[in-house]
Chain A
Amino acid sequence: MSSAIQRQGDIVAAIMLRDIRTRFGKSRLGYFWAFAEPLAHMAWISAVSYFLARKAPYGFSREVFVASGLLPLFVFIRVSTKVTSAVSSLSGLRGLSIGTLDLALARAILETLTLIAVMVVVFCVLSIVMGYEEAWPQRLDMLIVSLISFLFLGIGIGFICGVIARFFPMWKIIWSALARVTILLSGVVRIIDYMPPAVREIAYYVPMLHGVTLARIGFYGDSYPQLILDTNYLFGFIVVALFIGLAADRAFRHRLTR
């Protein structure tokens, strides 16, 4: 059993090493995109947020507020889209008898590590260059829980979307847009606790909202408004999504054809 896990670990590591070389290696465009996209989203959200209110929604810095929710959420966005394409298509690596789960895990972990690197750079700039003290996480444990939740949520949703894309290939493109729409529903722009009950009742069911709230507690500490937070709902959602995704992958394996 332990040797089987070891073996799977070796395969996942080998795929990651290869992806680093091919995606981030020869052309620097991979690196550029890894930073550029979340930064572009940060820019427009900060602009919208400025027009909504002159004061930062929480704390002193609008940038820290936006980044502390957006960058962890991006783990979900990137992981779910990467896993969707890994699960939906019969690429060359699959021809080498590499399993769906190995491929999906490798892509998911690499994407998460890349975003952690982006976060380290962004928050170092915010704290050292811009001088915002709150850019240092007060509760690193909560931030890590948030990142791991987004990683597994991304894998679960990615598997489900990947299986859907085996039937409707267009779904891959639709999902990569839809995943980014979740930015608007997850409390990245505004604090959901301060919004009307009607909004709160609906927002509660968006699992990403709970992950974003966890990340904010990671930065601002326990004083961050967290009445809406329900970690049981988040973890339950993740387990169910993973179960449905992996079961659907097995049930519809025959849909993978060249």
Chain B
Amino acid sequence: MIEVDGVSKFVGTGSIRRLVLKDVTATFPGTGVTGILGPRGCGKSTLIRLLAGVEAPHIGSIRRRGQVSFPLGFGGGMDPRMTVAENLGFIARVNGLDPHDFVRAVALMSGLESDLRRPFVSVPGDRKNRILYSMSYCIPFDTYLVDGSPVIGGGRFRAACNSFFEERRQTSAFIVATSAPAILRRHCDRACVLHNGEIIFWGGVEDAIALFATLPEGMAAIEAETEEEDEEEGLFL
């Protein structure tokens, strides 16, 4: 469970400083999948980083119960010069897991055993994402934070992602921030709508999408979505 109390957050410095979150108060439950639906630039990613504890709010407070993940698929902590296995070993140790078992589990889920000995920088982009998503799923968190989609890729990896997601949601909470109503519909139990840095709705998935469609940016997002879907499916086939 994550409690957000009166949180405001600025981004940028000096004259380009902008208020991205305005006095947000919300309680994200400790079970089930909660969606945060909002158009591009509404403050979703900032909110996810605040929930993860990567950044701190300017005003207000955030209380976390249990182990909260970093944003799913986050790759900024990987050292490009170290091999994939070395990077994963580090992630395992930081999270109190056995490095050997962890590397095996990630290799199994991603199906990329052959890339383990390569420097991380030399792994192609889509395979990098597969490794990063597998890495996040293989750490047992109480709450998983997702900026985008909890299930990515295609073919066998998509199936693996899906089964991990379905398994983890039984015991852990998910918070999924997205601008795509389809992702909300497919994965979420409940949703809120974030618009211009404020949560303007909290409730069922269909009601959230209906409200989202009435926003000017929402219409554009829904129109663009059909194309994005196709691209996403095609990525790893």
List A residues at the B interface (Cβ < 8 Å): 7, 10-11, 13-15, 17-18, 21-22, 25-26, 90-98, 253-254, 256-258
Contact = CB atoms under 8 A, between A and B. Distances in A.
B77 A90 contact: no
Interface in B42-62: 52-58
A7 B86 CA distance: 20
A242 B172 CA distance: 38
A17 B55 contact: no
A14 B92 CA distance: 9
A254 B77 contact: no
Interface string B107-132: 00000000000000000000000000
A256 B74 CA distance: 18
Contact of B55 (A11, A14, A18, A254): A254
B53 A97 contact: yes
Contact of B77 (A11, A17, A21, A92): A92
Q: Which 10 residue pairs spanning A and B have beta carbons closest together?
A: A92-B76, A14-B93, A253-B56, A96-B77, A92-B77, A95-B76, A254-B56, A254-B58, A18-B90, A14-B94
B191 interface: no
B65 to A, nearest CB: 15
Contacts of B90: 14-15, 17-18
Contact of B70 (A7, A15, A21, A96): A96
Given A96-B70, A97-B53, A97-B68, 20 more contacts: A10-B96, A13-B93, A14-B94, A15-B90, A15-B94, A18-B90, A21-B79, A21-B86, A22-B81, A26-B81, A92-B78, A95-B70, A95-B76, A96-B76, A253-B56, A254-B9, A254-B57, A256-B55, A257-B10, A257-B55
Contacts of B69: 97
Nearest to B69: A97
Nearest to A102: B94
Interface centre among B77, B78, B82 (most CB of A within 10 A): B77
Interface centre among B10, B53, B76 (most CB of A within 10 A): B76
Interface string B6-38: 000111110000000000000000000000000
Contact of A21 (B9, B13, B82): B82
B91 interface: yes
Nearest to B46: A257
Contacts of B68: 97
Contacts of B86: 18, 21
Contacts of B76: 91-92, 95-96
B54 A97 contact: yes
A90 B54 CA distance: 8
B93 A17 contact: yes
A254 B7 CA distance: 11
26 contacts: A7-B96, A10-B94, A11-B93, A14-B93, A15-B90, A18-B79, A18-B90, A21-B82, A26-B81, A90-B54, A90-B55, A92-B75, A93-B77, A95-B74, A95-B77, A96-B77, A96-B91, A97-B70, A98-B77, A98-B94, A254-B56, A254-B57, A256-B55, A256-B56, A257-B55, A258-B55
Given A17-B90, A18-B82, A96-B74, A257 B11 contact: yes
Contacts of A257: 10-13, 55
A256 to B, nearest CB: 6
Contacts of A10: 93-94, 96
Contacts of A258: 55
Contacts of A254: 9, 55-58
B12 to A, nearest CB: 8
Contacts of B12: 257
A237 to B, nearest CB: 28
A241 B77 CA distance: 30
Contacts of A98: 77, 94
A14 B55 CA distance: 22
Contacts of B71: 95
Given A22-B79, A257-B11, A95 B93 contact: no
Contacts of B58: 254
A96 B77 CA distance: 6
B43 to A, nearest CB: 13
B86 to A, nearest CB: 7
A253 B55 CA distance: 7
Contacts of B9: 254
A15 B77 CA distance: 11
A257 B54 CA distance: 9
